[in-house]
């Protein structure tokens, strides 16, 4: 299992998450700032949409069966992050 933590504070830190193809993966998002409009994170590529209550880590499972670059963003598609599976 690959586990990556992403801090959400005026953007995504890190903004690029690298994962190994074929190994189950989870990304845990923790929003630590009220800056911006980052209280929702969603991804049409992976098919998730998750509320991010302040300082409450939220974990999503990532399908790593396909290699490539996949996006996630805030609810209004203003802030973007990327998952690279290789």
Residues forming the site for Cu ion (CB under 5 A): 37, 74, 76, 78
Minimum distance from residue 52 beta carbon to Cu ion (Å) = 11
Helix, strand, coil share of the chain (percent; to 5): 0, 55, 45
Token readout for 40 is: 């929702």
Pick between residue 20 and residue 44 the one whose CB is nearest to Cu ion: 44
Residues in the chain: 86
Minimum distance from residue 39 beta carbon to Cu ion (Å) = 9
Strand 48-51 relative to strand 40-43, pairing = antiparallel
Pick between residue 52 and residue 74 the one whose CB is nearest to Cu ion: 74
Rounded to the nearest 5 degrees, what angle is found at the Cα of 19, between the Cα atoms of 27 and 50?
25
Pick between residue 35 and residue 76 the one whose CB is nearest to Cu ion: 76
Minimum distance from residue 46 beta carbon to Cu ion (Å) = 18
């Amino acid at each position: 299992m690959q586990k990556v933590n992403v801090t959400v504070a005026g953007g995504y830190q890190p903004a690029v998450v690298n994962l190994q193809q074929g190994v189950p993966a989870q990304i845990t998002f923790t929003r630590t700032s009220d800056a911006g409009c980052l209280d929702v994170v969603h991804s049409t590529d992976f098919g998730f949409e998750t509320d991010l209550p302040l300082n409450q880590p939220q974990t999503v499972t990532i399908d790593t069966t396909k290699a490539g670059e996949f996006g996630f963003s805030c609810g209004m598609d203003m802030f973007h992050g990327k998952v690279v599976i290789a």
